[in-house]
């Protein structure tokens, strides 16, 4: 009900590659952080986890967004917009969404680079 200390973790398959800065005491964080990541030809999905940093215990997962390889193929020019968070634990209710811009520029023959901009959440 009060506020959160949110940050995001970006994973390709199950490997963590990026952690955004923590935005303290807010339910509407703005990050505006942009990353470029080299994708392995065999990757299956990119997941963005929205976390709540907790200094006294383990950090809580607020929710996640999963972008599959097929979704990226369906949107060859990328996509940008608000995406609803889904639950990580089926017993937890999740509310909120994250504003992302995701694209894989270049042709299918070139080395694949994922450009991911984590803009904000609410």
Interval 7-34: pLDDT, tens: 999 999 999 999 999 999 999 999 999 9
Q: Does the pLDDT value for residue 93 go beyond 90?
A: no
What's the CATH code, domain 6-121? Answer: 2.60.40.150
Determine the pLDDT at residue 79: 87
Q: Does the pLDDT value for residue 43 go beyond 60?
A: yes
| Residue carrying the six token digits 């994973």 | 11
Q: Does the pLDDT value for residue 108 go beyond 60?
A: no
* Both structure tokens of 49: 């986890």
What one-character-per-residue DSSP string does 2-33 give?
A: --B-EEEEEEETTEEEEEPPP--SBSS-EEEE
Report, as an integer, the average pLDDT of 38-43: 86
Report, as an integer, the average pLDDT of 100-120: 79
Q: Give yes or no for a contact between 35 and 115, defined as CB atoms under 8 angstroms apart.
A: yes
Determine the pLDDT at residue 66: 95
Beta-strand ranges (E) seen in 60-112 are 60-68, 79-84, 97-103
Q: Give yes or no for a contact between 97 and 120, defined as CB atoms under 8 angstroms apart.
A: no
């Amino acid at each position: 009900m009060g506020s959160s200390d949110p940050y995001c973790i970006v994973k390709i398959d199950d490997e963590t590659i990026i952690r955004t800065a923590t935005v303290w005491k807010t339910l509407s964080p703005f990050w505006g952080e942009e990353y470029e990541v080299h994708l392995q030809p065999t990757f299956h999905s990119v997941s963005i986890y929205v976390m709540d940093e907790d200094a006294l215990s383990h950090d809580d997962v607020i929710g996640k967004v999963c972008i599959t390889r097929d979704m990226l193929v369906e949107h060859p020019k990328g996509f940008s917009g608000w995406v609803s968070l889904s639950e990580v634990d089926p017993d937890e209710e999740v509310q909120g969404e994250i504003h992302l811009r995701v694209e894989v520029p270049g042709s299918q023959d070139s080395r694949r680079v994922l450009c991911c901009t984590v803009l904000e959440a609410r």
